Amino acid sequence: MKPLFKGKHFITLEDWKKAEIDKLLDVSAELKRKFLANEVTDYLKNKTSFLMFFEQSTRTRNSMEAGIAQLGGHANFLDTSTMQIAHGETGTDTAIILSSYGHAIACRNCFWKIGNKFLREMALHATVPVMNLQCDLYHPMQGLADLMTIKEVKKETKRLKVGIIWAYATSHKKPISVPLTQSLLFPRYGMDVVLAHPKGYELPDWVIEKAKENAQENGGTFIVTHDQDEAYRDADIVIPKNWGSWASNESDEVIDEILEANRHWKCTEEKMALAKADVNYMHALPADRGNEVEDSVIDGEHSIVYQEAENRLHTAKAVMAMTMGDK
């Protein structure tokens, strides 16, 4: 498998042309087929990737670790609390050193106004591809898997109505990176995106402007509403998920008055009934069951969350194979 994007950083899908994203999706599908057929895919034999995590992970860590193993390579998991970063070592020094030890650096850093800057600093000084495993602004690995899943299930993306919907949750103050990534990516594929959230949970203005631009250039639409029913009504895909009020309130407090005032923003059977008969429910997981969504929805016939989660493996492998491989 020829590594068409050898050395290219994977920090945001906005840095990747549609044709390049399409190639990643093609490779993801090929790798998924080979995985299910138990075919050997040792395209990264003896390659090493460093996986740096500033916080917890299930799908991202395991899709990356399992993925590179299935590609014939090896992942070093790095809990950053045990690295010299915890004592103040810079991203620059870390990137230079790890580049000399292996073939890729992947990092999750979701600290507000810190994460993306840290990844960009590493990318500036690394001599190997730097991969974003989620930062304060972007989650390209999730976005790619979401797009793959939508194309698998719906076949055609043009004029699909997709509701990206804020939902109530209390587990922690979640990053805005998932809805932000979806808002920028889906309009590029001609989808009609409705971003719905209560007042106080706005995404940054530049995101809305860019999403509308992406929609205009690719035959889709992008609108913002404070009416959750508008996003559910006649939708082909609904993605009800919590995100924090980071753009308007930088406090890391989880539960506050504005959150509690919007407990009714929840994905229920009643809300799902507003959508098309063949609507699909998606979520990046983990879902805050009972708050974000009723069990009967996430476990019901419209849910494709496990297919979505499974595709995290295959898209991660595609990114690694296409950026880390030999010439």
pLDDT block averages, 10 residues each, the chain of length 327: 93 98 98 98 97 96 98 97 96 98 98 98 98 98 98 97 98 96 98 98 98 98 98 98 96 94 98 98 97 98 98 98 87
Q: Are both 316 and 281 inside the same structural domain?
A: no
pLDDT for 159: 96
pLDDT for 172: 92
CB 7 within 8 A of CB 323: yes
Structure token pair of residue 160 = 């699909």
Range of the domain at 106: 13-139+311-324
Q: Are both 75 and 170 inside the same structural domain?
A: no
Q: For position 252, which CATH number holds?
A: 3.40.50.1370
Q: Are both 156 and 67 inside the same structural domain?
A: no
Q: Are both 25 and 135 inside the same structural domain?
A: yes
In a domain, 214, yes or no: yes
pLDDT for 327: 52
In a domain, 259, yes or no: yes
Q: Are both 39 and 25 inside the same structural domain?
A: yes
pLDDT for 1: 76
Write the Ramachandran bin of 243: left for phi over 0, alpha for psi from -120 to 50, otherwise beta.
Answer: beta
> 3-state SS of the chain?
CCCCCCCCCECCHHHCCHHHHHHHHHHHHHHHHHHHCCCCCCCCCCCEEEEEECCCCCHHHHHHHHHHHHCCCEEEEEEHHHCHHHHCCCHHHHHHHHHHHCCEEEEEECCCCCHHHHHHHHHHHCCCCEEEEEECCCCHHHHHHHHHHHHHHHCCCCCCEEEEEECCCCCCCCCCHHHHHHHHHHHHHCCEEEEECCCCCCCCHHHHHHHHHHHHHHCCEEEEECCHHHHHCCCCEEEEECCCCCCCCCCCCCCCHHHHCCCCCCECHHHHCCCCCCCEECCCCCCCECCCECHHHHCCCCECHHHHHHHHHHHHHHHHHHHHCCC
Q: Are both 133 and 200 inside the same structural domain?
A: no
Rg, the chain, Cα only: 19
Q: Are both 39 and 157 inside the same structural domain?
A: no
In a domain, 8, yes or no: no
In a domain, 1, yes or no: no
Question: CB neighbours (10 Å) of residue 264?
Answer: 9
Q: Are both 92 and 77 inside the same structural domain?
A: yes
Q: Are both 46 and 187 inside the same structural domain?
A: no
Q: Are both 287 and 155 inside the same structural domain?
A: yes
In a domain, 4, yes or no: no
Q: Domains in the chain: how many in total?
A: 2
Q: Are both 238 and 285 inside the same structural domain?
A: yes
Q: Tokens 């969504």 label which residue?
A: 293
In a domain, 44, yes or no: yes
Q: Are both 123 and 28 inside the same structural domain?
A: yes
In a domain, 236, yes or no: yes
